[in-house]
Structures are given as C-alpha cells and as structure tokens.
C-alpha cells in the first residue's frame, strides 16, 4: 500500500523529480521501480504487500532489522526533548555519551570521535584531518593517499578520489595527484600456480614498492576496507592487513581502516580491525550500521596519538576547520545509542558469530552451479559472482545480477545486483531458517538465470 497516491502517479513523480544515486541517464524519465513501503525484522514490504527477505540489509546497514518501536521511541523522545543544537560552540549530552560508548568499543587508543553525516563525509574528514596534521607538523608535501583497485570509500570529492572502481570514474573528475591505486587484491585473480602465501607476499610488496616509488616523504596514508564491500566482497589473503600495517609503520604512513560496512557487528564484532584482522589502525571510519540505517550518521575515530600531535603547544593557534551542521546530531546520536544498547542486550554479536558458519556454507555451496565463477565472504557478508560464455569477457554478463534479482524478487528475496555479482549483508538478526530460505531462493534464481535466453 503506497503512503501517497497510486503507483502510476508515484512512479511518474519519482521519474520526473527524484534523481537516484548512480542514476543511469539513458533510462531517466522512464524507469519502472518497485516502491518499498514497509519493513519488519529481516523483511521489507513492497507496495503490493509482498514480504521479501532483505538480502543486502538496506545498503549494508540495517543491523537490528526494520520496524523497531524502541528505536522509533528513542528518536522521537530525543526529537521532542531537543531535536537540534549547534555542535560548533556548545555540547549535547546525547552525543557526548555516544562518543564515550564508541570509544569504549574501539581498539587501542582510538578514543576521539569526529561525527559526520555518513560514510563519505567520515572518509572525507579522515583525509582532511591527515592533511591538517601533516601541514601542522611541517610536512605539507606528505599528501598522497594509497588506495586499492575496486575500493569504494564514498561519493564526496575526496572520498570518491580515493575510490578505485574504474567504471565510477569514467564521467567524473577527481582530485588530481591525491591518490595512488594498488592492483587487485582478489585471490581469485592470482596467477595460476601462485599459492595464497606467495600472493600475500606480492600484495604486501605492492604496497611497500608504491611507498618507495612515490617517496615515503610524500605518502600520507593507506586507506583500506577490511573487506572490499561494494567492490564485490573481496576478502584479502589472510595476514594482509597486519603486514600492510607493519609496512605503514616502517614508513611513517598512517593507516585508515574504512569500517563503514564492517563496523557495528557485520563480522560479529563491534569493529573488525582488531578482533578479526588483528590491527589497531590510526583512524577508523564508520557509518551505516552505527544507527542501523534508521537515521544518517557517520564518524571518523582518531587515535590519542594523532590528537596529541595536533593539540596543545603543538597546535600553534591552528583550527581543524572541518565540520557539519549535523555533526553529532542529537536524534542520530539517540538512535546510535539505542542501536548499541539493542545489539548488546540482545546478544546480536554472538548471534552473528553463531549463524555465520551456516551462512558461509550455503553461500559456498552455490559454487556448484555452472555459471557461478566464485563465491566469497566473511561474517554476514557474501558475494556470488557469475559468468556466462567463454569466461573471458564480461560483455554478455552485465545483466546477470539484475536477472537473478528479478527472479529472486518474485520468490521472496531482494538482492543487490552489481553487474555480474549479487552481494548480501542481511540484517544481523537473521535466523538460521531465514538464511536457508534466502539461499534456497537464490539458488533457484541463479538456475533460472542459467536458463535465461542470452
């Protein structure tokens, strides 16, 4: 049931007035979209009343599931009491308490939270903070950021400039000279006969050689998602992040761990950097699962060491002139606090660790299907990559994800198709029965795509 008007009218308004993210310009004006009007637990409800399991958990973000009254109440209470106050010169206790709660859950000395409006602004703020720090410490030439092929760090100018998905860069400009990209870290693409250990050595050498080639005095930071999420859930070889951090330390290069997707429980821990990958980076960025998507919020969490370097006597009157009207927004902060409380009191991190083996087992079982070229994942993140034809060209495969998604939607599952891949990150509360349902539907969807006319 649509909240406003009939489908034809809404679709027309949507076409005529709403520019969607990643809008394909050819289809603008005549898209036919499904309106999703409700949600409950792991399900979204379409305008027709169809209940679909939400495979991508919104956009890697709806950790605690949809339709929670306690979440709505926490936000409403805060809005009634104090909806907004400027964070520039004054403080707000809800945001202060949230910063404290987050600092209590981060690794090492990552104790300072700079609140943002989402993931892109978190990454942008991390990059601006590093520029600020290096200027202040007298190293204005130390500015290059090393990123990776297929990385996604956001859509603001700096964040997009360090993102490495080529197709996203075709029509847009980027900050010149800012970023350097390392080659593919996907073990699937390693040369035939190369062991995982040798591949790891190569990938670590890629980073060190890039630093040496560019000059350590010019390289400010390395930015990495623990698992490249929208690049296709690429899990780097075991030990990769630890060894990259060692190299960063050796060359005085800061390490930004972009946990916008992996933070807040996706891999069964508050943050994956330390608990899963054994590293304490210099900065962690987060967003998405921070509020379970109920309201926008992000953060860039900075170490004591970095804050010490740029504060006190060293600051020489300097101001970090970066911030948002909505930094630490009280309603978002109230939602984030309630989200933490729910995750904790309902044992959701333990639950993720408990259901992960089934999720991963069912995911990998799909590799038996003819068109499945790879299955990969970790925690409650997964990707199925498909390929038709001679397996050397993607030409015929661009629509595969969309074809599979269309089949699955008819049977009760919504996916996130990316070219020839489908990625998953369901709400963290998903049960074992729902995981089995999800993969049963997906398996049928992949089979149907195999039979679909080219």
Residues within the interface to ligand PLP (CB under 6 A): 118-120, 123, 152-154, 225, 229-230, 258, 260-261, 287, 298
Q: State in angstroms the smallest separation of the CB of 434 from ligand PLP.
A: 24
The neighbouring-strand residues paired with 179 are: 145
210 in Cβ contact with 216 (< 8 Å): no
* Pairing mode of beta strands 51-54, 413-414: parallel
* Nearest CA among 184, 183, 175 for reference residue 143: 175
Q: State in angstroms the smallest separation of the CB of 285 from ligand PLP.
A: 7
Q: State in angstroms the smallest separation of the CB of 316 from ligand PLP.
A: 32
Q: State in angstroms the smallest separation of the CB of 120 from ligand PLP.
A: 3
Query: In terms of CB distance, is 71 or 223 closer to ligand PLP?
Result: 223
Query: In terms of CB distance, is 154 or 265 closer to ligand PLP?
Result: 154
Query: In terms of CB distance, is 253 or 290 closer to ligand PLP?
Result: 290
289 in Cβ contact with 110 (< 8 Å): no
Query: In terms of CB distance, is 146 or 388 closer to ligand PLP?
Result: 146
Q: What is the DSSP letter of 236?
A: P
Query: In terms of CB distance, is 148 or 153 closer to ligand PLP?
Result: 153
Q: State in angstroms the smallest separation of the CB of 328 from ligand PLP.
A: 16
The three-class DSSP label of residue 223 is strand
* Pairing mode of beta strands 413-414, 416-418: unpaired
282 in Cβ contact with 91 (< 8 Å): no
Q: State in angstroms the smallest separation of the CB of 322 from ligand PLP.
A: 16
Burial class of residue 381 in the structure, from the number of CB atoms within 10 Å of its CB (0-12 exposed, 13-18 middle, 19+ buried): buried
The three-class DSSP label of residue 424 is strand
Q: What are phi and psi of 429, to 5 degrees?
A: -85, 5
Q: At what angle do helices 330-345 and 93-103 cross, to 10 degrees?
A: 40
Residue 406 Rama label (left phi>0; alpha psi -120 to 50; beta): alpha
The three-class DSSP label of residue 45 is strand
368 in Cβ contact with 362 (< 8 Å): no
Q: State in angstroms the smallest separation of the CB of 151 from ligand PLP.
A: 8
What is the Cα 449 distance to its own chain's centre? Answer: 27
Q: State in angstroms the smallest separation of the CB of 258 from ligand PLP.
A: 5
Query: In terms of CB distance, is 270 or 439 closer to ligand PLP?
Result: 270
The neighbouring-strand residues paired with 147 are: 181
449 in Cβ contact with 371 (< 8 Å): yes
Query: In terms of CB distance, is 54 or 258 closer to ligand PLP?
Result: 258
Q: State in angstroms the smallest separation of the CB of 128 from ligand PLP.
A: 15
Residues in the chain: 454
Query: In terms of CB distance, is 258 or 405 closer to ligand PLP?
Result: 258
Query: In terms of CB distance, is 225 or 397 closer to ligand PLP?
Result: 225
Q: State in angstroms the smallest separation of the CB of 390 from ligand PLP.
A: 32
Q: State in angstroms the smallest separation of the CB of 181 from ligand PLP.
A: 15
DSSP per-residue codes, 177-243: TTEEEE----GGGSPTT--HHHHHHHHHHHHHHHHHHH-GGGEEEEEE-SSBSTTT-B-PPTTHHHH
Query: In terms of CB distance, is 11 or 257 closer to ligand PLP?
Result: 257
For 97, 237, 290, the CA distances from 104, given in Å and listed in that order, are 11, 29, 14
Query: In terms of CB distance, is 225 or 405 closer to ligand PLP?
Result: 225
Instruction: Name the residue whose CB lies closest to ligand PLP.
Output: 119
* Pairing mode of beta strands 381-386, 372-378: antiparallel
b/e 133-166 (16+ beta carbons within 10 angstroms → b): bbebeeeeebbbbbbbbbbbbbbbebbbbbbbbe
């Amino acid at each position: 049931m649509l909240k406003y008007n009939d489908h034809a009218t809404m679709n027309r308004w949507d076409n005529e007035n709403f520019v969607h993210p990643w809008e394909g310009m050819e289809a603008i004006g005549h898209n036919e979209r499904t309106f999703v009007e409700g949600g409950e637990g792991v399900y979204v409800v379409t305008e027709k009343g169809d209940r679909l399991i939400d495979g991508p958990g919104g956009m890697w973000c709806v950790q605690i599931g949809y339709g929670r009254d306690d979440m709505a109440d926490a936000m409403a209470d805060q809005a009634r009491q104090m909806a907004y106050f400027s964070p520039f010169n004054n403080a707000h206790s809800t945001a202060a308490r949230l910063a404290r709660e987050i600092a209590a859950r981060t690794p090492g000395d990552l104790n300072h939270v700079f609140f943002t409006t989402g993931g892109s602004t978190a990454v942008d703020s991390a990059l601006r903070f590093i520029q600020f720090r290096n200027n202040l410490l007298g190293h204005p030439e130390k500015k290059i950021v090393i990123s990776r092929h297929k990385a996604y760090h956001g859509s603001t100018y700096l964040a997009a400039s360090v993102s490495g998905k080529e197709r996203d860069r075709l029509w847009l400009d980027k900050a010149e000279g800012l970023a350097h990209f390392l080659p593919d870290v996907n073990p699937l693409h390693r040369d035939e006969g190369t062991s995982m250990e040798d591949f790891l050595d190569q990938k670590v050498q890629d980073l060190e050689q890039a630093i040496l080639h560019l000059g350590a005095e010019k390289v400010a930071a390395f930015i990495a998602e623990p698992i490249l999420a929208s690049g296709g859930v690429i899990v780097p070889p075991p030990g990769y992040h630890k060894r990259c951090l060692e190299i960063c330390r050796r060359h005085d290069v800061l390490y930004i761990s972009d946990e916008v997707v992996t933070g807040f429980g996706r891999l069964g821990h508050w943050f994956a950097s330390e608990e899963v990958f054994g590293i304490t980076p210099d900065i962690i960025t987060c967003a998405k699962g921070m509020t379970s998507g109920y309201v926008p919020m992000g953060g860039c969490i900075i170490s004591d060491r970095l804050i010490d370097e740029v504060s006190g006597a060293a600051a020489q009157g300097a101001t970090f002139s970066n911030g948002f009207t909505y930094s630490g927004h009280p309603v978002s902060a109230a939602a984030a606090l309630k989200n933490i409380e729910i995750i904790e009191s309902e044992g959701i991190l333990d639950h993720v660790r408990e259901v992960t083996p089934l999720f991963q087992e069912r995911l990998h079982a799909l590799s038996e299907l003819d068109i499945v070229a790879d299955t990969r994942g970790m925690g409650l993140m997964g990707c199925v990559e498909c390929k038709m034809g001679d397996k050397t060209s993607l030409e015929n495969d661009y629509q595969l994800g969309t074809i599979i998604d269309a089949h699955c939607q008819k049977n009760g599952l919504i996916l996130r198709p990316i070219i020839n891949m489908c990625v998953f990150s369901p709400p963290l509360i998903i049960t074992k029965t729902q995981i089995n349902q999800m993969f049963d539907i997906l398996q049928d969807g992949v089979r149907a795509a195999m039979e679909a006319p080219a």
